[in-house]
Each structure stands twice: as structure tokens, then as C-alpha cells.
Amino acid sequence: MTQIFFPVQRKYLDSFRKKEDELIIEMELYAIEHKVPILNWHAAELIEKLILINKPERVLEIGTAIAYTTIRIAKCLHKDSVIHSIEKSEDNLKIALLNVEKSGVSKKIKLIQGDALSIMPQLNKKYDFIFLDADKEDYKRLFDYSMILLRKGGVIVVDNLLWHGYAASNRVPAKYNKSTKHIKDFNKLFILQQNLDSMIIPIGDGLGLGIKK
């Protein structure tokens, strides 16, 4: 993995972490132990702030994993708002369900099992906020569906746009060649998308942020 940040600055920023609730820390430790990729906590904090500012009524997450960000988002939502989160791995979804049950915000969360590529075309109600965090080779098609499902003025956030530093590197290990190409192609599409006011924020693994025009 290439460095995105200088270690000194990273350590400095890490020192400002506020006390998280136990379940959040438990999920982070589970993710490390079981090698489940979850959102970087700095990026999760930014998404929480966006939710608090934007006050969405309907949120869609594509790629639940163990429901780490799902729960963090749900905690910031108004009591009548909802987050729908799609996950294709049955194993991840089982853990996600257990975490959601423990979260205290399960009423605001609906987990949907299946491949988002087949589920999204069946969804017909618009969303105010979409978080895309799935397999990189699916990003383009999932993004196209997201743009259909996102209401005008709605916000889309996409994770991993710096792709462990490889998106901006000339030295990409062979096993990351394909995924890096997917991300680099996706980034051009994301930034050039006509009906989206978009940017890439160097936080976590690189967060794409767009507002639908």
C-alpha cells in the first residue's frame, strides 16, 4: 500500500478522535480481525456531518459489509428517516444483522440481501443521499443506477477513489492493476459527469462527493 498521508499528520489527526460508543469500536476490531474492509473512521465522521447538514429522509448504501457505516449514518438520521443498505454476501449480512440489533437504531435500518446490480433497477422511490462502497469493477454500473435513484439536489458519496494510493501512483502491484484501472476510469467519469457537481476529498481512502444538479 502507498501512503496517502504523511504518517506524522495522520498520527496528529488520530489524536483528536472522540470517544466512540462500544459497538463502533467492537465493529472496528472485528473488521481488523476478520479482514472485512470497512470505511475509515475519519471518512465515517465526514459522512456523519454530511448527514447532519443534509438531513436526508431516505438514504441508500450499496455495500453494507458488517453495517459499520450503516449504523453510524442511522444514528445521525431523524427518527422518521431510513437507511436501506444492500449487501450481496450472506456471511457479512448475518454479522450486519447482529450489529443492527445491538445498535439501538434498528428501526431506521433496512438491510437488503442481494446483488445491488439486480436490486437497484427494481427500486423505484428516489433517495436523498447515496453511499456507494461496493466492488470496484461494479462502480460504473452502480453509479449509473445511483444517478437514476438520486433526487435532484441529493448527495452521493463514493469510497476508495484514491484506492490505497494506487490511483495516483506509477508503481501499482500486479494484483491491483485491474482494480486501479477501474478506479481511475471511474474517477474521470465521476468528475466529468454533467449532472453532478463533484469532487474527490483526500480523507480515508479518498471520498468522492457529488451533488446532483
Binding positions for ligand SAM, rule: CB under 6 A: 37-39, 61, 63, 65, 68-69, 86-89, 92, 115-117, 133-135, 138
Looking at beta carbons only, is 162 or 213 nearer to ligand SAM?
A: 162
Looking at beta carbons only, is 187 or 192 nearer to ligand SAM?
A: 187
Looking at beta carbons only, is 142 or 196 nearer to ligand SAM?
A: 142
**Cell numbers describing residue 61:** 448504501
| Least CB distance to ligand SAM at residue 104 (A) | 18
| Least CB distance to ligand SAM at residue 74 (A) | 12
Contact 83, 56 (CB under 8 A): no
Burial class (CB in 10 A: 0-12, 13-18, 19+), 75: middle
Distance, in Å, from the CA atom of 53 to the CA atom of 211, rounded to the nearest integer, reads: 13
| Least CB distance to ligand SAM at residue 116 (A) | 3
Distance, in Å, from the CA atom of 36 to the CA atom of 31, rounded to the nearest integer, reads: 5
| Least CB distance to ligand SAM at residue 64 (A) | 6
Looking at beta carbons only, is 33 or 80 nearer to ligand SAM?
A: 33
Distance, in Å, from the CA atom of 147 to the CA atom of 127, rounded to the nearest integer, reads: 10
If we measure between CA atoms, which residue out of 208, 119, 109, 134 comes closest to residue 167?
A: 208
| Least CB distance to ligand SAM at residue 213 (A) | 26
Looking at beta carbons only, is 141 or 213 nearer to ligand SAM?
A: 141
Looking at beta carbons only, is 6 or 162 nearer to ligand SAM?
A: 162
Q: Which residue is nearest to ligand SAM (CB)?
A: 63
| Least CB distance to ligand SAM at residue 170 (A) | 25
